[in-house]
Structure 1
Amino acid sequence: MTRVLHVLDHGLPLHSGYAFRTRAIMAAQLAAGMDVRAITGVRQGTTATGANPEIVDGLTFYRTPGRLGSVAGLREMREIGALADALERLCENWRPDVFHAHSPLMNGLAASRAGSALGIPVVYEIRAFWEDAAVGNGTGSEGSLRYRMTRSLENRAVAAADAVVTICKGLRDDLVIRGVAPGKITIVPNAVDLNLFGSPLPRDAALARELDLGEGPVIGFLGSFYPYEGLADLIAAMPAIVEAHPGARLLLIGGGPEADALRAAAERSSAAPAIRFVGRVPHAEVERYYSLVDVVAYPRKAMRLTELVTPLKPLEAMAQGKMVAASAVGGHRELIVEGMTGTLFAPDDPAALAAALNQLLSRRDEWPARRIVASEFVRRERDWAGNVERYRTVYQRLLERGPIAASAAAA
């Protein structure tokens, strides 16, 4: 039985797309017969010691004690050291066959430091480049000193790992351009836990009345309100959509840094009566809100982050039997085939967004067939139960090399 320790920035019981992907991976690996546990870094915000695991949703998490520092650079170096030390202490009582570290880069560097000392091979999985995520979140700028330093450390984490996993082709291709050998990289794409999202609920009529949605159609977004999501463009498109489809409603579910600005933009809009903000909802309630939505929209802005990284949410929407409309950035084009698994429109263009949604809403007779195509795509190619076997192949390749070879490669 292969023993795998996932090395994480954060995890359950915290809720985020990062935590939910991790949960799906771990649950699928356990179901596939692996012995799987995880350790979270200092950013989890726990006072527990690494020797005392926490069980959440049947999954085992160890924690790294400590507090975040205040000086950039020194703070990250201390995080790496604390996590590496926690890994070594944990391995005194339970020794994994593989460290599986997930971005950001501090986890990869910590795992490689501990792996080199212990002779344990390291898989480093990149879900997004940290420097590009900072730009997308509005906390960094492309080309700045901090951006270049972070990129350099990312390259170091990739070089130190024995194998690298990315979640999509865009990230893989960027690494190859940087000089990483293609054979070192495996793509394990985003997928859906069909035990959670594979059985859509019927429309929740009581909730629809509570939110005053009328007969619809309902356009929805479920997720975090970051600048790169382009939700201001969706709000700007609503007057033209309501003009063509007077019953249309926009349902925005979630929260984040853009929440106040988006509410202000909605209040100024001539379509304000058609726009609903719900705020964050418990994860257990998400399917109730999906049941209200006819079309899920993802108007992401065009930038490095969105061109390189595929999101998870469109796959969940497909699994829920929803129509998907998304901007034609690179991450969406990896998931969506125009007219088959979804509708694509030009990014950063509210008029193009409105035109695409109006056309989609006018062709409801085509929806049943398109729903079947999209849901079958998810079941066939993006179900975690099958997708997780890609990891087993990576692990086995490293373990066949033996601990000495793996340790030397990580050094």
Structure 2
Amino acid sequence: MTRILHVLDHSLPMHSGYTFRTRAILRAQMARGWDVRGITGHRHGAAGPAEEVVDGLHFHRTPGQAATGNPLLREWRDISAHADAIDSLIGRWRPDIIHAHSPVLNAMAAQRAAKRHDIPLVYEIRAFWEDAAVGNGAGTEGSPRYWLTRQLETHAVRAADAVAVICEGLRADLVSRGIDADKIIVSPNGVDMEQFGTPVARDPALTAKLGLEGADVVGFIGSFYDYEGLDDLIAAMPRLVRARPKVKLLLVGGGPCEQALRDQATASPFADHILFVGRVPHDRVEDYYAQVDILAYPRKAMRLTDLVTPLKPLEAMAQGRLVAASSVGGHRELIEDGVTGALFAPGEPAAIAAALAGMFADRDFWDNRRAAARAFVERERNWSSNILRYEPVYEQLLQRPQRISAAA
């Protein structure tokens, strides 16, 4: 049985888009018959034992706490601790493939252990770390740290035996850096249709509790980062309410921008049409999807959003919900305007309001668009089929003549 060790930033029981993609990959690989485990670094902040099974998935933890002090020294120490933990686990479990997932610190730690044990290494990039830092407000494009991180990313890609990325935007960027296109596969974000493929019915009690009876409901369910453009969505509400007096905006989640968004909503002349729910348990998320007519994703235009495809619109489409999104590159890979959803200009509240008002005004197309969106997810973004993209890569790497057999 082929053994795959996934080197991760963090994992379940923490909840994030990162951990949900990891869960989907590991579950699908286990269903394929592979023996799969994950190991997390010091950025995994959930308390727990050094080895645990969560939701049927087997995880190991790097011992100790994240280093402190100078950022470069701190990250170097964390890489070393992670590499030592990977090395120790390899000695006990002897995987056939190491599959490291971004950020690049994980790839650097995994490369040390892979080289020592002569185990093939796949490096999977979900977003470039330097661009993610800019999107989260923790970095500046063009800064020395940005440049250094970009160089490390390129080096890690060159050193890996194979590279996976989640979308065409990331692949094109790597090719522009001189990386051989044949070395890169695209393993796009997907949906576990067994989990998200059966929409739940709207709960009338929850509808009443939220005050949404008879409302046209626009919703966002996710993390409140600046690049998500929720300030533009709130700014669009006055125009949208004038066009659709019964419209309400339901915001589910939280994050760094939450207080600023709440303050903006309070100052809006239509504050009573904007509802913040806060974070909800993951097992209740589907109940909130069921309350929403149109899920809105008004991401701002920047490198991160142009290169990276988000997961949330796919989950909404799998749930049979309508989606409207800004026309950044990451959304254009997922949504065909007028067929599976609606696209509007990023950063323009007037365009957001016009797109949403137009969708509410013409309900005749709703069923067809929902069906087309769900069919797209089932056909091209279903994890049960996405997982097949890794298989030929693994098989090729396992045939390396210099490889040391895990059974040795």
TM-score after normalising by structure 2: 0.97
Change over 3 Å in CA distance of 1:403–1:78 after alignment to 2 = farther
Structure 2 residue aligned with 1:261: 260
1:365 aligns with 2:337: no
- Taking the aligned partners of 1:266 and 1:78, their CA distance within structure 2 comes to 43
Structure 2 residue aligned with 1:21: 21
Structure 2 residue aligned with 1:409: none
Instruction: Compute the displacement of 1:45 (Å).
Output: 3.2
1:56 aligns with 2:48: no
- Taking the aligned partners of 2:48 and 2:365, their CA distance within structure 1 comes to 53
Change over 3 Å in CA distance of 1:290–1:112 after alignment to 2 = same
Instruction: Compute the displacement of 1:405 (Å).
Output: 9.6
- Taking the aligned partners of 1:215 and 1:79, their CA distance within structure 2 comes to 53
What's the C-alpha RMSD, in Å, of the aligned pairs?
1.3
Q: Deviations over 1:8-49 (max 9, x none)?
A: 000000110000000010001101111111000011136767
Structure 2 residue aligned with 1:7: 7
Q: Deviations over 1:343-365 (max 9, x none)?
A: 00000100011111111111111
Q: Deviations over 1:90-137 (max 9, x none)?
A: 112111100000000011111111000001000000000000001001
User: What aligned pairs does 1:4-403 form with structure 2 within 5 A after superposition?
Assistant: 4-45=4-45, 52-70=50-68, 71-403=70-402
Change over 3 Å in CA distance of 1:243–1:388 after alignment to 2 = same
Q: Kindly, what percent of the aligned residue pairs are identical?
A: 61
1:201 and 1:287 in contact (8 A); partners too: yes
- Taking the aligned partners of 2:316 and 2:60, their CA distance within structure 1 comes to 32
Q: Deviations over 1:323-356 (max 9, x none)?
A: 0000000000000101111100000100011111
2:14 and 2:46 in contact (8 A); partners too: no
* Worse-superposed segment, 37-46 or 157-166: 37-46
Instruction: Compute the displacement of 1:404 (Å).
Output: 3.9
2:136 and 2:225 in contact (8 A); partners too: yes
Partner SS state of residue 23, structure 2: helix
Change over 3 Å in CA distance of 1:110–1:402 after alignment to 2 = farther
1:109 and 1:160 in contact (8 A); partners too: no
Aligned length: 404
Partner SS state of residue 302, structure 1: coil
Change over 3 Å in CA distance of 1:361–1:402 after alignment to 2 = farther
1:121 and 1:403 in contact (8 A); partners too: no
Instruction: Compute the displacement of 1:402 (Å).
Output: 3.5
Instruction: Compute the displacement of 1:155 (Å).
Output: 1.1
- Taking the aligned partners of 2:383 and 2:47, their CA distance within structure 1 comes to 32
Q: Runs of 5+ in structure 1 lacking a partner?
A: 407-411
**What letter is aligned with 2:372?**
V
Instruction: Compute the displacement of 1:2 (Å).
Output: 1.5
TM-score after normalising by structure 1: 0.96
**What letter is aligned with 1:64?**
T
1:214 and 1:247 in contact (8 A); partners too: no
- Taking the aligned partners of 1:45 and 1:369, their CA distance within structure 2 comes to 43
